[in-house]
Structure 1
Amino acid sequence: MKYFSTRGNVAGVGFIDAVLMGLADDGGLLLPEQIPHLTEADLARWSKLDYKALAHEIFSIYVDGDISPEDLTELIEQSYSTFRDPAVTPVRKLSDEAYVLELFHGPTFAFKDIALQFLGNLYSYISRKRNSIINILGATSGDTGASAIEGVRGKEGIRICILHPHQKVSRVQELQMTTVDDANVLNLAVKGNFDDCQQLIKELFADVEFKTKHHLRAINSINFARILAQTVYYFYAYFQVAAQHADAKINFSVPTGNFGDIFAGYLAKRMGLPIHKLILATNENNILERFVKEGAYQLGEFRMTHSPSMDIQIASNFERYLFYLHNGDAAQVERLMRQFKAEGQITIGSEQLTQVQTDFAAHGVSNDECLGTIRQTHETTGYLLDPHTACGIAAAKTHSGSGEITVTLATAHPAKFDESIQLAQIEQTFPAEISALFDKPQHQTIVDHSKEAVVEHIVKLYQA
């Protein structure tokens, strides 16, 4: 399996080199040359596997010889043995028509652990095998940073710098990142929002000379390994629900801001998983909802919401979907991305909009609807949702039809967002690991939103 760029100027890249490249050197995103289509026999066989064995089957397709089967087994075991539930991503029933897929049983209580535990171990493996330097640079709207740091902290040969928007993440998210006092970890709190942080990351990775000189590696979902790891739990959840509901139409409702998590579901569907609907849940930063409904991908007014990890306007994985929407026309994708950078908007034609609406349904959830969904679900089922999962549940209610079952991705433990839970007038008990954070000193550097300020600090870390 080889990888190529959505913009057409990078091709023939192996899996490990694709992981190391992160953002393609031409500024595009990497995709596999082929997406295998599974047979009914393949799906039947996979449906009997536990999570780790299923991950091995899926990873093997895309790794394709770059990692031996034995080493891959060890990487998967290292990555998922740290999870608090033996199922890794258990499925919980709320009603006959509604399930939640709990993705928060990893070390930092967020779905990002599923990809970043694997990616952290993979980077360590690559560093040992190739005797190479791994300097990780990433941006976070809250959860990615903590998960990435937890995935690589203390690992020999790896240093990591994470940018987060200053005072625009939850208190627990901030503490999970900034209470880590390891020499190989640097937290930069940028005066701006997540899109500002993400843009700085893309600029630095697009500077190929700087990227090469400092051995920059990506942990954001621009790295295809992140998408690959997230694809596994769509298969796993589908098989769990289908085993209880033969011949059911099964939907997935996905809280998403960066389009990575729902793109993983789109990839699973292209592979042949018979997902009925992919429901895209956003908050008041609803650029993706407007694209699905109107065909216009256009920057709007940035809003701070009760679901801060989705307070994103520019969805970094959207370009991957644009590539497939335009039938693999890399030149057209490059033109559209240049236009978006210059004008802040792109539009598609009616035929393409019809395809988008075949691929996705979408719902933007207001702050009031988010809190109302948390309260109502808690009152009727006793289940406490975090605010992002609440957006997913609200979208599921909007778009689930008669005879359909919808699995909502529960992307974080509610303790990570107690500010929103308190607004919903619910008291919760924190897990011991989260309670302990409040007594620890913090380690972070506040910087201006400028490339020069960020470069100054990361160069010091990477040269240490």
Structure 2
Amino acid sequence: MQYISTRGAAAAQDFRGATLAGLASDGGLYLPESWPQFSKAEIAAMAGLDYASLAVRIMRPFVTGSLSDEELTELCQQAYGGFAHKAVTPLAQLDERHWLLELFHGPTLAFKDVALQFLGQSFAHFLEGHDRALTIVGATSGDTGSAAIHAVAGREGIEIFMLHPHGRISDVQRRQMTTVLSPNVHNIAIEGNFDDAQAMVKRMFGDSALTDTLDLSAVNSINWARLMAQIVYYFAAALQLGAPHRPVAFSVPTGNFGDVFAGYVASRMGLPVERLIVATNINDILHRALSSGDYSRAELSPTATPSMDIQVSSNFERLLFDLGGRDGAAMAETMRSFDASGALQIDETLRAAIGERFVSERVDGDAMSRAIRWAYEEARQVIDPHTAIGLAAAHRYDGDPAVPVVTLATAHPAKFDDAVERACGIRPALPTRVGDLFDRQEQSTVLPNDYEAVRQFVIENAMAKANA
């Protein structure tokens, strides 16, 4: 399998090359040159597989030429063997139609673990015999950072620099990053928002002086390997609910469009997905794009769902490229225009193509709180605010009532205990495996919202290790 850039100018890569690079050299995002296809019979044959075995079956066509079946199997077993639930991503029933897909049983209590535990194992495998350290740079709106740090902390040959918006993530999210004191972990709190941090990371990959000095890679969902790993749980949930003989709809709380794009890929591979419900908070660039074609930046508003407080959704570029004819040169020009103006109008033809698989909902704070109360009062399920955004959107979905609707439960409610308690009166406790989080020492560096300051910090610390 070869991977091509959405902007057309970077050389094609195999899976190993795309994983280690993260972002393409032309600023684009890697996608497989074609979508693997599973027949109805092949999907039916996946029923009953344990999660690691299902992951091998789904990922195999994407890694051909880079990983043998034996290597892929070992990576998946290592990645998913330590989850707190044997099913890895179990389903919980809310009522006759609605279900939760629990994605928070990994080490940092968030859905990012499902992908980043695999990515961490992949980095370690691909770096065997590598003579230069890999410098991972990433931006997080809350959960990516801790999941990435836990996946690579203490690993030889890797330095990780994770940017988060200072004071704009929950205490649990921050501490899950800043209490990891491994010498290869560098937490940077920037005095800006997530979009500022994300823009800095993208700029680093386009900074030739930096990339000539350091071997950069990414752990954000701009890295294809992350999205590939997330495809698996769509298959896992749908198989339990009757696929391929029965379609399933999914409601996905999202800001950066990565998690829901994985569902889109699952549908392109043959999984019968009736609709993907894109659930946004009031930072609603994706809802505006899908409902009216208006993909434009707006002022960012802090909310009780900080992981979704995003106004530039990086992975949306992948969808525009795939459904817009896979014209790299045209995509590059479109993104140059968007970067300059902050606005992009999606034409009717492309919107119609998107509408065949997606619908969207904008959910405000009051509706989010009502969804938390409903889940507790009607189903005795305590859910976090991000999951509640997805559930509120799922309740508005007017598709075939015979089709089950699965809301992705993206984080453990204890990560957002204040918001949950305000909504339903229950203060969720951290699981015992992370129960001492608030007793641990923290370590991080606060830097101004300035690219040069962050760039210099990365260079100095990465080179200090290289020269040690």
TM range (shorter): over 0.9
Distance of 2:365 and 2:208 partners within structure 1: 41
Is the Cα contact below 8 Å between 1:306 and 1:370 reproduced in 2? Answer: no
1:407-456, Cα deviation, whole Å (9 max, x unpaired): 11000000011121122132222212333111111100100011111112
Cross-structure match for 1:220: 220
The alpha-carbon deviation at position 357 of structure 1 amounts to 1.7
Cross-structure match for 1:420: 419
What is the DSSP-based 3-state SS (H/G/I as helix, E as strand, rest coil) of the residue aligned with 2:356? helix
Cross-structure match for 1:21: 21
Distance of 2:461 and 2:80 partners within structure 1: 29
Cross-structure match for 2:284: 286
Cross-structure match for 2:298: 300
The alpha-carbon deviation at position 129 of structure 1 amounts to 4.2
The alpha-carbon deviation at position 131 of structure 1 amounts to 4.1
Alignment of 1:400-411 (within 5 A): 400-401=398-399, 402-411=401-410
Is the Cα contact below 8 Å between 2:14 and 2:65 reproduced in 1? Answer: no
Cross-structure match for 1:249: 247
Is the Cα contact below 8 Å between 1:4 and 1:33 reproduced in 2? Answer: yes
What is the DSSP-based 3-state SS (H/G/I as helix, E as strand, rest coil) of the residue aligned with 1:342? helix
1:229-270, Cα deviation, whole Å (9 max, x unpaired): 000100111001117xx9543100001100000000000101
Alignment of 1:180-329 (within 5 A): 180-242=180-242, 247-329=245-327
Distance of 1:37 and 1:247 partners within structure 2: 17
Cross-structure match for 1:334: 332
Alignment of 1:104-123 (within 5 A): 104-123=104-123
The alpha-carbon deviation at position 38 of structure 1 amounts to 1.3
> Percent identity, aligned pairs only?
47
Gaps of 5+ in 2: none
What is the DSSP-based 3-state SS (H/G/I as helix, E as strand, rest coil) of the residue aligned with 1:19? helix
- TM-score, structure 1 as length reference: 0.97
Q: Aligned partner of 1:285: which letter?
A: N
Is the Cα contact below 8 Å between 2:368 and 2:392 reproduced in 1? Answer: yes
The alpha-carbon deviation at position 399 of structure 1 amounts to 1.1
Distance of 2:160 and 2:427 partners within structure 1: 35
Query: For this pair of structures, how many residues does the alignment match?
Result: 462
What is the DSSP-based 3-state SS (H/G/I as helix, E as strand, rest coil) of the residue aligned with 2:435? helix
Residues 400, 249 of structure 1: CA spacing in aligned structure 2 closer, same or farther, 3 A cutoff? farther
Is the Cα contact below 8 Å between 2:414 and 2:427 reproduced in 1? Answer: no
Q: Aligned partner of 1:422: which letter?
A: E
Is the Cα contact below 8 Å between 1:295 and 1:353 reproduced in 2? Answer: yes
Distance of 1:375 and 1:158 partners within structure 2: 43
Cross-structure match for 2:347: 349
Cross-structure match for 1:176: 176
Cross-structure match for 1:33: 33
Residues 212, 225 of structure 1: CA spacing in aligned structure 2 closer, same or farther, 3 A cutoff? farther
Cross-structure match for 2:124: 124
Question: Given the alignment of the two structures, is residue 399 of structure 1 paired with residue 389 of structure 2, yes or no?
Answer: no
Distance of 1:97 and 1:344 partners within structure 2: 39
Distance of 1:361 and 1:291 partners within structure 2: 11
Is the Cα contact below 8 Å between 2:100 and 2:408 reproduced in 1? Answer: yes
Residues 248, 41 of structure 1: CA spacing in aligned structure 2 closer, same or farther, 3 A cutoff? closer
Distance of 2:189 and 2:35 partners within structure 1: 38
What is the DSSP-based 3-state SS (H/G/I as helix, E as strand, rest coil) of the residue aligned with 2:337? helix
- TM-score, structure 2 as length reference: 0.96
Residues 271, 247 of structure 1: CA spacing in aligned structure 2 closer, same or farther, 3 A cutoff? closer
Residues 57, 212 of structure 1: CA spacing in aligned structure 2 closer, same or farther, 3 A cutoff? farther
Distance of 2:173 and 2:277 partners within structure 1: 26
Cross-structure match for 1:432: 432
Distance of 2:11 and 2:323 partners within structure 1: 20
Q: Aligned partner of 2:323: which letter?
A: L
Distance of 1:109 and 1:118 partners within structure 2: 15
Alignment of 1:61-80 (within 5 A): 61-80=61-80
CA RMSD of aligned residues (A): 1.3
Distance of 2:129 and 2:382 partners within structure 1: 44
The alpha-carbon deviation at position 209 of structure 1 amounts to 3.5
What is the DSSP-based 3-state SS (H/G/I as helix, E as strand, rest coil) of the residue aligned with 1:368? helix
1:95-121, Cα deviation, whole Å (9 max, x unpaired): 110111100000000000011111111
Structure 1 stretch displaced more, 34-43 or 252-261: 34-43
Structure 1 stretch displaced more, 143-152 or 426-435: 426-435
The alpha-carbon deviation at position 132 of structure 1 amounts to 4.1
Is the Cα contact below 8 Å between 2:5 and 2:12 reproduced in 1? Answer: no
What is the DSSP-based 3-state SS (H/G/I as helix, E as strand, rest coil) of the residue aligned with 2:436? helix
1:321-356, Cα deviation, whole Å (9 max, x unpaired): 010121112122111101110110100222222222
1:182-221, Cα deviation, whole Å (9 max, x unpaired): 1111000000100000000000011134123211111011
Q: Aligned partner of 2:411: which letter?
A: A
Residues 326, 10 of structure 1: CA spacing in aligned structure 2 closer, same or farther, 3 A cutoff? same
Alignment of 1:154-173 (within 5 A): 154-173=154-173
Q: Aligned partner of 2:389: which letter?
A: C
Gaps of 5+ in 1: none
Distance of 1:120 and 1:459 partners within structure 2: 22
Residues 460, 433 of structure 1: CA spacing in aligned structure 2 closer, same or farther, 3 A cutoff? farther
Distance of 2:404 and 2:440 partners within structure 1: 43
Question: Given the alignment of the two structures, is residue 101 of structure 1 paired with residue 101 of structure 2, yes or no?
Answer: yes
What is the DSSP-based 3-state SS (H/G/I as helix, E as strand, rest coil) of the residue aligned with 2:181? coil
Is the Cα contact below 8 Å between 1:25 and 1:208 reproduced in 2? Answer: no
Distance of 2:23 and 2:245 partners within structure 1: 40
Distance of 2:444 and 2:455 partners within structure 1: 15
Q: Aligned partner of 2:88: which letter?
A: V
The alpha-carbon deviation at position 48 of structure 1 amounts to 3.2
Distance of 1:242 and 1:212 partners within structure 2: 50
Question: Given the alignment of the two structures, is residue 362 of structure 1 paired with residue 398 of structure 2, yes or no?
Answer: no
What is the DSSP-based 3-state SS (H/G/I as helix, E as strand, rest coil) of the residue aligned with 1:92? strand
Is the Cα contact below 8 Å between 1:184 and 1:461 reproduced in 2? Answer: no
Structure 1 stretch displaced more, 420-429 or 192-201: 420-429
Q: Aligned partner of 2:24: which letter?
A: A
Instruction: Give the 4+ runs in structure 1 shifted more than 3 A.
Output: 129-132, 246-249
Cross-structure match for 2:12: 12
